[in-house]
Amino acid sequence: MTQKERIMICGAGGMLGSALVPYLESQGHRVLATDIDVNEKWLEFLDVRDYHGMRYVMSEFKPTTLMNLAALTDLEYCETHAGDAISTNAGGSANCAALASKINYVYISTAGIFDGKQEYYSDEDKPNPLCVYAKSKYWGELIAQTVPKHHVLRCGWQMGGIQRGKDKKFIGKIWKQIKAGATELNVVTDKEGTPTYVLDFSKQIEKLLEAKAYGVFNAACGGDASRFDVAVEFVRLLDLQDSVKVNIVDSSFWAEEYFAPRPASEKLITARLDMLELNVMRPWKTALAEYVKDNPEYFKTEKLR
């Protein structure tokens, strides 16, 4: 990006922020990273639900771009705490949209806003969210689209952040089981999607800002997979295929633990990015291989073989 931005990020303390903040800073942008959970020395406290607090910080920092990563993403928590989910995921977007009316507003959404009745979903397909989390994120999308210079990016299944203890998603959960000594993993085949490496996703955000490409974009790594496919590939990359067996189960196996409704398919087609020749995201297997290779201290497997 030739013109450097002043970027204020809300919700930067999570998985995506662990990649996005250092990447943007490495590209020469001025970044103010905020979160309600100040778990890094480079974070400042800010609650995206606090309009007046947001307004004050923005008046001091004067960003040219506001990025909203702040979200409650635990589907089961959202299902049982709907008010909290809506005030954060949709209300937070409303505060951001009101304050970003004259600058760039980047809102991170999710493939989970679709109902899974189709196998693939393009940018133009109409969302039909099934659970409280997905509904609150879709409402946040709609609010974000009221800002003239909006970039709404729908992310697939996130991978990344293990080096900072931020990977609370699928790969992180699988690794936690393996590291604890599990020799068998029970993984579903009836949930499919598009894995998304947070470093690639960070580069995609910058690319859209650079191109001044506004609107709604599906943004995920190339290729699709079931949860089972991802687990098998991860175990192979760890060279543990002879030590860890991946068992096929369906979603009923995890029904008690994961009770929030989830779509059978969250496969995203990146049609708009491809049409505009702005897609910088690699195939998910390539990205996952890099993730494992670049974090040898965290993916130690010698004692597990």
pLDDT digits 0-9 by tens, 286-300: 999 999 998 888 887
Q: Give the DSSP letter string of 248-264.
A: EE-GGGGTTTS-S---S
User: Up-side HSE of residue 154: CA atoms within 13 Å toward CB?
Assistant: 30
Share above pLDDT 70 across residues of the chain, in percent, rounded to a whole number:
97
Predicted pLDDT at 1: 44
| Burial class of residue 179 (count of CB atoms within 10 Å of its CB; 0-12, 13-18, 19+) | middle
Return the structure tokens found at 144.
């974000």
Tell me, what's the pLDDT at 193? 95
Residue 301 has pLDDT above 90, yes or no: no
Give pLDDT tens digits for 40-55. Answer: 899 999 999 999 999 9
User: How many Å apart are CA 210 and CA 37, to the nearest integer?
Assistant: 30
Q: What would the DSSP string read from start to end of 72-102? A: ---HHHHHH-HHHHHHHHTHHHHHHHHH-TT
Average pLDDT across the chain, whole number: 92
Question: Could you tell me if 90 and 136 are in contact, meaning their C-beta atoms sit under 8 angstroms apart?
Answer: yes
Ramachandran bin of 146, using left for φ above 0, alpha for ψ from -120 to 50, beta for the remaining angles: alpha
Q: What is the pLDDT of residue 302?
A: 64
Contacts of 86 (CB under 8 A, 6+ apart): 132, 135, 136, 139
Phi/psi for 270 (5° steps) reads -90, 55
- Rounded distance between C-alpha atoms, residue 139 and residue 44, angstroms: 27
- Return all residues near 239 (Cβ < 8 A) that are at least 6 apart: 301, 305
* Higher per-residue confidence, 204 vs 2: 204
Q: b/e for 118-149, b at 16 or more Cβ within 10 A?
A: eebbebebebebbbbbbbbbbbbbebbbebeb
- Res. 166 pLDDT band, cuts 50 70 90: confident
Average pLDDT, integer, range 169-181: 89
Return the higher-pLDDT residue of 252 and 104.
104
Contact between 63 and 103 under an 8 Å Cβ cutoff? The reply is yes
Higher pLDDT residue, 150 or 260?
150
Query: CA of 137: how far to CAs of 12, 105, 182, 264, 290, in Å?
Result: 17, 15, 34, 18, 30
Superfamily of domain 6-227+255-304: NAD(P)-binding Rossmann-like Domain (3.40.50.720)
Please report, for the chain, the start and end positions of each structural domain, with discontinuous segments joined by +. Answer: 6-227+255-304
67 and 205 Cβ atoms separated by less than 8 Å? yes
Q: CA–CA separation, 268 vs 272, rounded Å?
A: 11
pLDDT for 253 equals 84
**pLDDT tens string 240-257:** 988 899 999 988 888 788
pLDDT-derived band at 103, boundaries 50, 70, 90? very high
CA angle at 163 for the pair 112 and 29, rounded to the nearest 5°: 80
The tokens describing 134, both together, are 């997905």
| Confidence label for 107 from pLDDT (cuts 50, 70 and 90) | very high
pLDDT number for residue 209: 94
- Quick one: pLDDT band at residue 39, thresholds 50, 70, 90? confident
pLDDT tens for residues 263-273?
999 999 999 99
Reported confidence tier of residue 154, pLDDT bands at 50, 70, 90: very high
- The pLDDT assigned to 165 comes to 73
Both tokens assigned to 143? 């609010």
For 60-99, the pLDDT digits (tens) are: 999 999 999 999 999 999 999 999 999 999 999 999 999 9
